[in-house]
Amino acid sequence: MTTAAQSSRYGAPWTRDELILAFDLYCRTPFQKTKTTNPEVQKLAALLGRSPASVARKLGNFGAFDPALRSAEITGLVHTSKLDREIWNEFHSDWSALVWQASKLKRAFEEQRGEAPVLVRPSGPSEALRMTKQRVHQAFFREAIMSSYEETCCVTGLRIRECLIASHIVPWSADEEHRTDPTNGLCLSSTFDRLFDAGLITISHDLLVCLSGILMRTKIPSTQELIARYHGKPMITPKRFMPSMERLRWHRSNVFRG
């Protein structure tokens, strides 16, 4: 899309489809990176035929509704529209619908612009379609969690992206409704992700790291030095999408091996 074409859309009202794609990007992007210089902002702008400044402003509009930003005394941009709020209210409680609709809309916009990659599309109610949806939802979940925790393990503070896992609090297999919900996730290093899944660590109601007695009783020096040292310490909380107290309680009751 040329600069002239982008200019021709200056001031044009945002459509519902465009707002869904903008909200999808908002959820995947740390608020401090919702700027015109962000390559993802520029990519969406080109896809929609809008300027990066227009997209960045719209991401800021969504920030005005975000309770996590309000608690941090960050206001977002206040000149929001009725449709902005409708999109927030509709999809903030239906993450699966947001992710799948955004995926289909992105493909449709790419096809309009002749930029869609050549893919073999699954047809009908097949296993291939199920796997496609699963990959789309998993990708969103990981990006939202990485963004929320600023690519930091919430137990150790490790900040090496390649070593981090977007870990489900209630497992993917046990809760279809909240598979994509970022409040059902924690950012953990690969080691602590395995410990969490095995019920050897959990997070308390007051967001403290709790280790199982199995680990606390071990005499292996490396376990004490590398793992037990975090027992009782506060987890590093996310900038957005605080973990659900209900689902943390589920983990303590159903997985944690006290």
pLDDT at 48 over 60: yes
The chain-wide mean pLDDT, for the chain, equals 87
Q: What is the pLDDT of residue 213?
A: 92
Q: What is the pLDDT of residue 217?
A: 87
Q: What is the pLDDT of residue 93?
A: 79
Q: CA 18 from chain center: how many Å?
A: 19
Q: What is the pLDDT of residue 40?
A: 95
pLDDT at 9 over 70: no
Q: What is the pLDDT of residue 249?
A: 97
Q: Mapped to the 3 state alphabet, what secondary structure does 54-79 carry?
A: HHHHHHHHHHCCCHHHHHCCCCCCCC
Q: What is the pLDDT of residue 219?
A: 80
Q: How confident is the model at residue 103 (pLDDT cuts 50, 70, 90)?
A: very high
Q: What is the pLDDT of residue 123?
A: 52
pLDDT at 119 over 70: no
Q: What is the pLDDT of residues 227-244, one digit of tens each?
A: 999 999 999 999 989 999
Percent above pLDDT 90 for the chain: 60
Backbone torsions φ then ψ of 188, nearest 5 degrees: -130, 150
How far is 252 from 242, CA to CA, in rounded Å? 17
Is the CA virtual torsion 51, 53, 55, 57 positive or negative?
negative
**By the 8 A CB rule, do 63 and 76 touch?**
yes
How far is 11 from 224, CA to CA, in rounded Å? 60
Q: What is the mean pLDDT of residues 89-107?
A: 90
Q: What is the pLDDT of residues 175-218, one digit of tens each?
A: 777 889 999 999 999 999 999 999 999 999 999 999 999 998 88
Q: What is the pLDDT of residue 8?
A: 47
Domain boundaries, the chain: 3-117, 137-254
Q: If you count them, how many residues does the chain have?
A: 258
Residue 223, token pair as written in the block: 């376990």
Burial class (CB in 10 A: 0-12, 13-18, 19+), 77: middle
Report in angstroms the alpha-carbon separations of 256 from 9, 167, 221: 54, 15, 23
